[in-house]
Chain A
Amino acid sequence: MVRFDKVGMRYGPGPEVLRDISFHLEPGSFHFLTGPSGSGKSSLLSLLYLAQQPSRGLVTLFGEDVSAMSRNRRAELRRRIGVVFQDFRLIDHLTALENVALPLRVAGAKAAQVRKDVTELLKWVGLGDKLDATPPTLSGGEQQRVAIARAVIGRPSLLLADEPTGNVDPDIALRLLHLFVELNKIGTTVVIATHDHAMIQRFGRPVLRLEGGRLAAELPLARAV
């Protein structure tokens, strides 16, 4: 599913933010990605959702070398990847329903089916009464749930989430994590970047730990915490 082989990455002429990263994620696996602030978690995720290219090394996604991909192929692969961004990245002038529907629209789904599926999912994440609300009128937690709904609506093969429960109360956070687990059970590979050690401990999944741009270890839960 995902393979990194001695990957390095830098922004422009700056120093490397990721160095000699090598790991392999099996299809259907579930990993937490952790590490201190500035350790390179978001940069690693940006390589995974194809927003950046490695400066060196080889990144293989769905069996394909990302450096050799055309723009159209990258767009096709992005449709198989759901991303929850730390800053949500919702479109302010669209409603919650329209924001969540975007991946389906891009994929060319039928309007009636899109509305049904999106409404159902937004109800499930507790936003059934906010379908027509725009992001600026929603709280941080509500925006985060819209962002998560947008990431999972297309049943992605790979789900990436950057601090997906940072702005929601513990009950909602648990509910959202269970949603990720359910998706994982039906085959979605999940990578969640988080500082929340309690959550890591509760779910008992393998941990990728970054320190200073290097992968410190891929550890089982007990040792990571």
Chain B
Amino acid sequence: MARRVDLLPDRDGAARFLPWTIAVMIYLAALAIAGAMALDGALRRFDQGISGTATVQLPGGDAKQLAQALQVLRDTPGVLEARPLDTPELERLIEPWLGKGSLPAGISLPALIDVRLDPRAIPDLRALDQRLGAAVAGAKLDDHQAWLERLRWLGRAGQLIALVVVAAVMLATIALVIVSTRAGLAQHQGVIEILHLIGARDRWIAGQVQGHALSLALRGGLLGLSLAALTLFALWRLGGGVFASVLPSVTLHPAQWGMLVGLAPAGALIAMLTARLTVLGALARRP
């Protein structure tokens, strides 16, 4: 008895396709989770980069107003730096919308002041906005919170979509294992009957089937995971190239990689438990 004896051989029917279909499921789940993690990481980095900054906009933008606004800012505790943007910087900002050097003559741009805040002592931004408005008519302080809030919402939506994808994949895997196990039981009805007649308990038979399902699902899971790793590697290489500016960087922490690698055994465990419960349920209904 050195070799493991498969009582329900995998060359038969539905079980033959189980590793392949589970590979596809794990592949999809891994990409969904990796995508959510990468998006979250990118947004977090963006959030950290933009938090602690603010922008003051002066509609007129003459030198006197600029000096008054800078004075208000520099007199405010918690403002580390207030730097007016020069004309080339302003032109670069509108370049994506209007094109390079396409600003019509005679049209003046509002003055912008880039403000860096002390993250440990952020000043009362509403009060600062009011003081700026009192000093310079039409001056507005933008702390980017509206923009950041939309980004955070995008991150949460990404996570929710990934969660839905993973849940759908999990349910599909469970359904697949149930169908495959039932088909296997129907196909091997004679074997099951013999096992019962020689004294096998339902739990022993379920143990044989669950071991088989575990092995098939683990094989499929590892295949799906390998394909997902290859895809992520390709995306990472792509992200470092011409699309670096538009794609979020697909870099994950070791813990996140661990979570992805854990998908294969987790999927296999789900398949194993599903197979066990399916067999026990089916056998209990027999006389």
Contacts and interface: CB of A to CB of B under 8 A. Distances in A.
Contacts of A76: 199
Give the contact-size bracket for chain A: 20 to 34
Main secondary structure of the interface of A (DSSP, over half): helix
B279 to A, nearest CB: 13
Nearest to A85: B197
A89 interface: yes
B194 interface: yes
B5 A98 contact: yes
A83 B1 contact: no
Interface string B1-25: 1100111010000000000000000
Interface string B187-226: 0001101111111111010000000000000000000000
Interface residues of B, number: 21
A106 B204 contact: yes
A51 interface: yes
B287 interface: yes
A71 interface: yes
Interface stretch (A15-23, A107-115, A172-180): A107-115
A77 B201 CA distance: 11
Interface string A85-124: 0000111011001100111011100010011000000000
A76 B200 CA distance: 8
A79 B199 contact: yes
Given A106-B204, A114-B1, A115-B1, A93 B9 contact: yes
Contacts of A56: none
B5 A79 contact: no
A53 B287 CA distance: 9
A75 B194 contact: no
A4 interface: no
Contacts of A93: 6, 9
B192 to A, nearest CB: 10
Contacts of B204: 106
A53 B6 CA distance: 31
B254 to A, nearest CB: 40
Contacts of A51: 197
Contact of B198 (A97, A106, A114): A106
Interface string A51-92: 101000000000000000001100111111101000001110
A150 interface: yes
Contacts of A91: 7, 190-191, 194
Contacts of A103: 198-199
Contacts of B197: 49, 51, 78, 83, 89
A43 to B, nearest CB: 15
Nearest to A95: B5
Contact of B199 (A78, A90, A111): A78
Given A53-B287, A94-B5, A79 B198 contact: yes
Contacts of A114: 1
B106 to A, nearest CB: 89
A105 B9 CA distance: 17
Given A75-B200, A103-B199, A106-B200, A89 B194 contact: yes
A51 B236 CA distance: 62
A102 B1 contact: no
Contacts of A79: 198-199
A70 to B, nearest CB: 10
A155 to B, nearest CB: 13
Interface of A: 49, 51, 53, 71-72, 75-81, 83, 89-91, 93-94, 97-98, 101-103, 105-107, 111, 114-115, 150
- In order of increasing CB-CB distance, the 3 nearest A-B pairs are A79-B199, A78-B199, A111-B1
15 contacts: A49-B197, A71-B202, A71-B284, A72-B201, A79-B198, A90-B194, A91-B7, A91-B194, A93-B6, A93-B9, A102-B194, A106-B198, A111-B1, A115-B2, A150-B198
Given A75-B196, A150-B198, 19 more contacts: A53-B287, A75-B202, A76-B199, A77-B199, A78-B196, A81-B199, A83-B198, A90-B194, A91-B7, A91-B190, A94-B5, A98-B1, A98-B5, A102-B194, A102-B195, A103-B199, A105-B1, A106-B198, A114-B1
